[in-house]
Homo-oligomer: A and B are copies of this chain.
Amino acid sequence: MNPSAHSPSILALSGGIGGAKLALGLTHAMPPEKLMIIGNIGDDFVHLGLNISPDLDTLMYTLSGKSDSDKGWGLANESWTVMQALEKMGGETWFKLGDMDLATHLERTHRLRAGVSLTEITSYFCQQFGIEARIIPVSNDRVHTIVETPDGDMTFQDYFVRERCKPTVSGLSFQGADKALPNPELIETLQNQSLQAVVICPSNPFLSIDPILAVRGVREELRACSAPVIAVSPIVGGNAVKGPTKKNLRELGHPVSATAIANYYRDFIDGFIVDIQDEATAQEIQKLDIAVKVSNTMMTDLTTKIELAQTVLNFSSCCGKCTKRFKEKDSPCGP
């Protein structure tokens, strides 16, 4: 087989729930084996002795159609026998691990200890789950998102799950990111001339995308890559669809708007997709030298996920409002 036959045409950067929704749409809107998804590992942690990778798992569960679509995380038809037994024993149950989900963590932990890389393990899991797209962690090394608050630093899961995002975020750091080696497949893909687009999924910029970009060299390679980089706004109608994005924007001194997100990404994106509710921001964003596409971005069912994915793919191949950078890249739109 020609090795380039499997070189990805689309690279997506994703956190958990919101990102996984678009990733699922993409697998239906293009040949899934040509899609590579880079998962955030800043949320990864060891809990009860188990290596847990929440965002990689959300991607796996979503793309395999096994996720709990009501909750957005975890597996559908999950049972909680282990957690209930653990609770009776006075164990820690603030981080909910379903019975079937636990099998994933047990097997991951087992394989990591045997010296298998997180990339290989994730690929193995994807194969078991029948996923054709390639999901890989941004690095095989450990990166830990540290949430800085007025009361001191917190681990990501303490902030996100235990404290339900209540503490004020005064800053973020990504422990280990400066020493972590980026996934070689990611770098290779970003440098590959056959890559057609990079998609920044509608994930939390600070908690999901930044820890990916923080890994040594990733942001630089993203800036240098020849394919257009398209971000989908996680802000819709001035609100976050889910999670603490709105609160984080405020606390970190940004306006709560699609424009603020585009501005935050301006050093590496070429195009930005805003929701129809935020059409008014299009002009502002274009002034940042970013191509804009207005579209429905609310992914309420599989159809809307696929439609948004199709919009992203069309926009990346021909933006219709080409920026200088698009033109330089010989966009089919022409100069």
Contacts and interface: CB of A to CB of B under 8 A. Distances in A.
A158 to B, nearest CB: 16
A84 to B, nearest CB: 8
Contacts of A2: none
Interface string A60-82: 00000000000000000001011
A106 interface: yes
Nearest to A109: B49
Nearest to A51: B49
Interface in A286-321: none
Interface string A75-96: 0000101110110111110000
A161 to B, nearest CB: 16
Interface in A42-58: 48-50
Interface stretch (A15-23, A97-105, A257-265): A97-105
Contacts of A109: 48-49
Contacts of A86: 103, 106-107
A128 interface: yes
**Dominant secondary structure at the A interface:** helix
A107 B97 CA distance: 13
A83 B81 CA distance: 12
Given A49-B110, A128-B89, A102 B102 contact: yes
Number of copies: 2
Contacts of A124: 90
A206 interface: no
A125 interface: yes
Contacts of A82: 82, 99-100, 102-103, 106
B102 A89 contact: no
A88 B85 CA distance: 23
A64 to B, nearest CB: 11
A107 B91 contact: yes
Given A49-B110, A109-B48, A110-B49, A103 B79 contact: no
Contacts of A104: 85, 89
The 7 nearest A-B residue pairs measured at CB: A85-B103, A81-B99, A85-B100, A49-B109, A86-B103, A91-B107, A48-B106
Given A49-B113, A82-B82, A90-B124, 6 more contacts: A49-B50, A82-B103, A85-B104, A89-B125, A90-B107, A92-B110
